[in-house]
Amino acid sequence: MTEPWGIELATLHALADACNYSLGAHVPEQAVTRKFPTHLRGDAKKALKKLQRKGYCIQHPTGRNMTWQLTSAGLNTVRVSMKSGTYFM
C-alpha cells in the first residue's frame, strides 16, 4: 500500500478531524470537503475515492446519503504523519 501525500494526506487529515479521530464515526462527504477552499473541493472528493481504493477509508451507506468512515490504517497514517511533522493543513 502506497503512503498518501499531498491532497490525499490533507483529505485523510480532514476526514479524521471530521470524525473526531474515531473509527466508529461516519460523516457525510460535505463535512470533509468543507474544510478545503472551494477550488480544491473537487480534488478532495477524488482523493476520498483514491483513499477508499487504498484502504484508508470506507464508504458507509445510510438512509439518506453515503457517509465516510476511517479505517484503522487511515487513523494510523494520520497519527504517524502528525508525529513526523508531515501534517500540513
Domains and their CATH numbers in the chain: 7-82 (1.10.10.10)
Residue by residue, pLDDT tens for the chain (89 residues) are 577 788 999 999 999 999 999 999 999 999 999 999 999 999 999 999 999 999 999 998 888 888 999 999 999 999 999 888 766 55
* CA angle 26–22–2, rounded 5-degree value: 85
Cβ atoms of residues 63 and 55 within 8 Å: no
Q: How is 33-71 classified by DSSP, letter by letter?
A: HTTS-GGGHHHHHHHHHHHHHHTSEEEEE-SSSEEEEE-
* pLDDT for the residue 60: 86
pTM metric for this prediction: 0.90
* pLDDT for the residue 61: 87
